Every structure is written in structure tokens, then in C-alpha cells.
Chains A and B, each alone.
Chain A
Amino acid sequence: MWLNVSTLPTLIFSLISFLIVLYTIWSVKSGKKFKIREIPGLKAVEEAVGRATEMGAAILYTPGWGGDIQRPTTIASMNILSKVAEKTAEYDCRLLYPTHDPVIMAVAQEVAREGYARAGYPDRFKEEDIFYISSSQFGYAAAVDGIISRSKPASVFLLGTFEAESLILAETGNSIGAIQIAGTDSTIQLSFFIVACDYTLIGEELFAASGYLSGNESILSSVKAQDILKILIALFVIVAMIWATIDPSSTWWKF
């Protein structure tokens, strides 16, 4: 069987989603403007970089132990890194980026280098500040904890996919008084970030943030597409609910 029938709903939904994304991208290209509502964690990004400059301290940015480069969250985090790198270049503020994944390291070096170049200070970029530090979950956590307590960054960015190390890093960051901006797609860790960090980008906000910050129109238009899909989903749920109440034996809404 070339087509697995049980995946058909996913295929149909994927194709609908593609059409909507392509439509919004096209309509932005043809001049339509979309705006994104304010996200509190985002305003804080600029503030966090500014604070580090004032204090003459570093910024620590880490994407967490749970992700790899194949994960869309990591890509979203890279977009934010690109903007943060541009700012740290402008303000001549040190950017430390420890990671557990060598591929993420390789990509982050390119992204940050480009950010520094865009800001007009390619010579301020230090490749060795974006480094690989052990793939072991708690080896990574011990190392980042050590770096935080020694380099005393003014701001800590925890953006990516985190697992149990989330609170170990966030509490250490808190103990040295850093402003902390976290964001992740790991639902369990979100609760720890909410409790321990100053700002938390919840799930999809992380994706929207990468569009907002970079001002990239294609990202903004796909945020719009996500919103359209959310409306469709809400309508679906309401209709299915009424249907199921009238006809409890119905199953067409089950996937």
C-alpha cells in the first residue's frame, strides 16, 4: 500500500495548512500588512541586552538539552539568537552560548557571525564563545551552572527545548540576580520557567517571537496563517461538540 489510509486526515489537514500559509505569504508580498499583538517577553529582550551593556556584563544564551537541529523550536530559537547577536554586537557586549549539541553549535556560530556582520562589527564576533559542552544532560547542566555563577551574566536567555535541567539553570541564574527570559515547547518545563524566570514565552509565543523580533515578513505572515487555522480549529470543535451532543454515536470528528 503506497497510501496509508489512517494518515489521510493528517494529509488533508497538512494540505489545507499549506494553502493557508502560502496565501498569507502571498498577500503580504502583495502589500497587505499584518501586525502582531505585544508579547511581554519580547520587549524584555531589548531591555535585557541594554541592562547587560550598562552593567558591563555578559549575556548567556542556551537552547536547552532536549532539542536538536531537526526540531522547529531550535530553528525559532536561532531566529531570536540572530537578533540578540546583532544587539550584542552593537552594544559590544559579550555573548556566551553553551550547547550540548555540536550541530547546534555549528549552526549557531554561523547565525551569530552573520548577526555581528549585519550590525557592522564582524570583528567583535568570537567564535569560541559559542561552544559545545558535553552531550550528557547533567554534564551540560553542571557546566552551564558553573558558567553562570562565574561569568555572572546580566541576562540569561533560555530559549529552546528543555528537560529536567530547566529549573537547575533557571534557579542558578536567579541566584546571581540575572534577568531571565525563557521560552520552550516542553509543556512540563513551562511550569518551572513560569515560577523561576522573569519572562516566559509559552509554546507558540516562541515561534511568534522569532517573527516579531526579526521583523521577517514571511514569519509574520505564517503567524497570521496560524491564527486562521486556530479559528478553523475552534469552529471545528464547536460544530463537533454540538454534533456529538445531538448524535452521541457520531465519530467523524475522531482522528
Chain B
Amino acid sequence: MEIGTLIAGILTLAIYTFLYKDNPIYRVAESWLIGLSIGYTLVIFWQTTLVDNLFNPLFDDGKLIMILPLILGLLMFSRFSGKISWMSRIPIAFMIGAGAGVAIPAMLYARTLKQVSASVMPLMGNNGVFNFEALVVVVGLLSTLAYFYFSREHKGVMGKTAKLGTYFLMIFFGTTFGYTVMSRMSTFIGRVDFLLTDFLHLVK
């Protein structure tokens, strides 16, 4: 067996021991994984972000505007000095502010407007037949929105509508759960495939 496969197999089994309970074997694997993955992220960000997107454009191509993100990035280190540590809030404010600016139209469009217009369907089909689905969708949408109505106690008509909304929510949760189970199983099957085929050679 290849040494790599042997190591991968042992580490795989070490992680599975966690299902029994937390134990030193799992802990060794976990600590090793944390260390490796932080190191991996460092290398990838160094290469693809700092070298490719900052140092090369700035120092080789002379793209002077890149001085700005360099300064913003360096300001993060002000956290280590007591007096000017507030300056690290500038890059954070930039990230949060720009993120908020992007989020407003993007969220309103994709999460709100798009969903609103997708819910509108004629109640009567072309052939004059009543469209039951359209009614279900609009009732589901409005009652669930009533559930998310916060500035009034859920009593009376509002309470009943909101309660209907919780039923629709439960249908949604049940459905998503049911549909997601399959793909969750396949990740484990992938590991079993590795263990039985490559590691133990029980399957050819």
C-alpha cells in the first residue's frame, strides 16, 4: 500500500473515534487538522491574494492604487499597540460599510422583489380552470409573512393567520430536511468507498 493511503486511512479512522466519544486519538487528529488547515489557508492567501493581487500589481506593474488596500491591511496591525489601536477600526469600517452598501440592493432584489413576483400566479388558468396551486402559494406566503409580523401580539385573526404560517414553515422544514438527507449520506459513502477500496482492498 502507498504510504499516503495508509496515513489517510489511519487519520480517517481517528476522526471516526469521535462518534464513540472525545478521546486522545481524535484529539491528535483534530489538532493536526487545525494546524494543517491554518497553514494551508496562510499559504493560499499569501499566494493568490497578497502576491498575485497586491504585491505583483503594486511593485511589478506599478498599479499605485493598490497602496490603499495595503495601508488598510497594515492598519489591522495597530491592534497590537494600545494607543493607536482604534485605527484598526478603519479597515473594519470599510469592509462593513462596503458590505452593507452591496447588501441593500442585492438583498432587496434577490431575497425580496424576486420572491414577491415569483409568488404571483393567476388564480385562473387559460382554460378557465381554477388554479389551486396559486391559491396555496399565496396563502402560504401571506400567512408566513404574518408569522414574521413582530409589532403586534399574535392574537385574534392575526394570531390564527400566524399559526397557519407556522404550519407552512413546518412543511418547509420537513421538506428541506427530507431532500438534504440523501446528499449527507453520500459524503459518508465516499469515505466508506475509500476505506473499503483503497485502504482495505475489500472492493476492487
| Interface residues in chain A, defined as those with a beta carbon under 8 Å from any beta carbon in chain B | 7, 9-11, 13-14, 17, 34-39, 68-72, 75, 103, 106-107, 110, 133-136, 138-139, 142-143, 145-146, 149-150, 164, 187-188, 190-192, 194-195, 202-205, 208, 223-224, 226-227, 230, 233-234, 236-238, 240-242, 244-245, 248, 253-255
A7 touches B34 (CB 8 A): no
CA distance A33 to B180 in the complex (A): 43
Restricting to B142-171, which residues have a CB under 8 Å from any CB of A?
142, 145, 148-154, 169
The stretch of B21-29, B47-55, B56-64 that contacts the partner chain:
B21-29
A14 touches B112 (CB 8 A): no
A202 touches B34 (CB 8 A): no
For B122, give its contact among A68, A110, A208, A244 (CB under 8 Å). A244
Interface residues on B, range: 35 or more
With A72-B103, A139-B33, A146-B26 already in contact, 4 other A-B pairs whose C-beta atoms are closer than 8 Å: A10-B105, A70-B99, A103-B95, A244-B122
B27 touches A227 (CB 8 A): no
For B176, give its contact among A34, A187, A240 (CB under 8 Å). A187
Verify if B100 is at the interface (C-beta below 8 Å from A).
yes
Verify if B46 is at the interface (C-beta below 8 Å from A).
no
B145 touches A233 (CB 8 A): yes
Q: Given contacts A106-B88, A149-B22, are A195 and B177 in contact (CB under 8 A)?
A: yes
Q: Main secondary structure on chain A at its contact with chain B?
A: helix
B96 touches A70 (CB 8 A): yes
In the complex formed, the residue of B with least CB distance to A230 is B145
A236 / chain B contacts, CB cutoff of 8 Å:
116
A223 touches B120 (CB 8 A): no
Restricting to B76-132, which residues have a CB under 8 Å from any CB of A?
76, 79, 88-89, 92, 95-96, 98-100, 102-105, 107-109, 112-114, 116-117, 119-124, 126
| Interface residues in chain B, defined as those with a beta carbon under 8 Å from any beta carbon in chain A | 15, 18, 21-22, 26-27, 29-30, 33-34, 36-38, 40-41, 76, 79, 88-89, 92, 95-96, 98-100, 102-105, 107-109, 112-114, 116-117, 119-124, 126, 134, 138, 141-142, 145, 148-154, 169, 172-177, 180, 184
Task: Determine which residue in B41, B108, B109, B122 has the highest number of CB atoms from chain A within 10 A of its CB, and name it.
Answer: B122
B154 / chain A contacts, CB cutoff of 8 Å:
37
A7 touches B103 (CB 8 A): no
Q: Given contacts A191-B177, A248-B122, are A135 and B113 in contact (CB under 8 A)?
A: no
A36 touches B150 (CB 8 A): yes
B120 touches A14 (CB 8 A): no
B149 touches A136 (CB 8 A): no
B34 touches A71 (CB 8 A): no
CA distance A237 to B15 in the complex (A): 51
B169 touches A202 (CB 8 A): yes
A37 touches B152 (CB 8 A): yes
CA distance A238 to B172 in the complex (A): 22
CA distance A13 to B105 in the complex (A): 9
A253 touches B120 (CB 8 A): yes
B113 touches A70 (CB 8 A): no
- Distance in angstroms from A218 CB to nearest chain B CB is 15
Q: Given contacts A17-B108, A244-B121, are A192 and B177 in contact (CB under 8 A)?
A: yes
CA distance A105 to B123 in the complex (A): 51
- Distance in angstroms from B202 CB to nearest chain A CB is 26
Give me 9 A-to-B residue pairs in the complex whose CB atoms sit less than 8 angstroms apart, sorted by A's number: A37-B154, A39-B150, A106-B79, A136-B33, A149-B22, A191-B175, A234-B145, A237-B120, A244-B120
Task: Determine which residue in B21, B79, B88, B176 has the highest number of CB atoms from chain A within 10 A of its CB, and name it.
Answer: B176
- Distance in angstroms from B103 CB to nearest chain A CB is 5
CA distance A195 to B181 in the complex (A): 13
- Distance in angstroms from A158 CB to nearest chain B CB is 16
CA distance A36 to B29 in the complex (A): 47
B22 touches A70 (CB 8 A): no
For A188, give its contact among B36, B79, B126, B176 (CB under 8 Å). B176
B40 / chain A contacts, CB cutoff of 8 Å:
136
A134 touches B109 (CB 8 A): no
- Distance in angstroms from A51 CB to nearest chain B CB is 22
B112 / chain A contacts, CB cutoff of 8 Å:
13, 233
CA distance A241 to B117 in the complex (A): 10
In the complex formed, the residue of B with least CB distance to A254 is B117
In the complex formed, the residue of A with least CB distance to B21 is A149
